[in-house]
Amino acid sequence: NACYTTGTCEIQDDFQQLLKKMLDADRLIFATPIFFMTVCAQAKMLIDRSQCLWAHKYVLKKQIITTERDRRAMVIAVGGSKSTKQFESIRLTMKSYFDVLQINYVTNLFINKVDGLSEIQKHPSALKEAFRLGKELITAESPLPQKPINVELT
């Protein structure tokens, strides 16, 4: 329970370096395949390891980032289902995660019906949309949206 008393993770591994990079970043793109209606295991492990940030912010009542910065994030998720409902869970997960990271959640790019190796290549607009949204993310100086903008490709 060290994360609840110190707000840091006592397990020393690559997480600390990755966390520092994410907290130092003004822009973040979180990309994941969707498995069983949520983020993949590796992404979930990163999110779960960040429980120390949640404790830092909500248990210890301390801000993680103390300077005011325009920080923005987007999600790119690819799933095999024909249903766009496969993205409902990730919206809630990422809203919570970005809240803990103190970064504004501005955009989602969700691509469904992509399940096999290289199937994304059958979506010619997917890469174009990813580049467009990425460019908007890094050049954005506009007011923040009330909720994330959703771009869904089928």
- For residue 106, give every residue at least 6 positions away whose Cβ sits within 8 Å of its Cβ, in sequence order, or none: 72, 73, 74, 137, 140, 144, 145, 148, 149
pLDDT tens for 36-50 read: 999 999 999 999 999
pTM for the full model? 0.92
Which CATH number does the domain 2-153 belong to among 3.30.1330.40, 2.60.120.10, 3.40.50.360, 3.40.50.150?
A: 3.40.50.360
**102: number of Cβ within 10 Å:** 15
Residue 74 burial by CB count (10 A; 0-12/13-18/19+): exposed, middle or buried? buried
- pLDDT score recorded for residue 118: 85
Q: Does the structure show a pLDDT above 80 at 86?
A: yes
- DSSP alpha helices (H): ranges in 1-154? 2-6, 15-24, 41-49, 51-54, 88-100, 124-139
- CA 99/CA 137 separation, integer angstroms: 17
Confidence of residue 142 (pLDDT cuts 50, 70, 90): confident
Q: Is-contact 128 76, C-beta < 8 A?
A: no
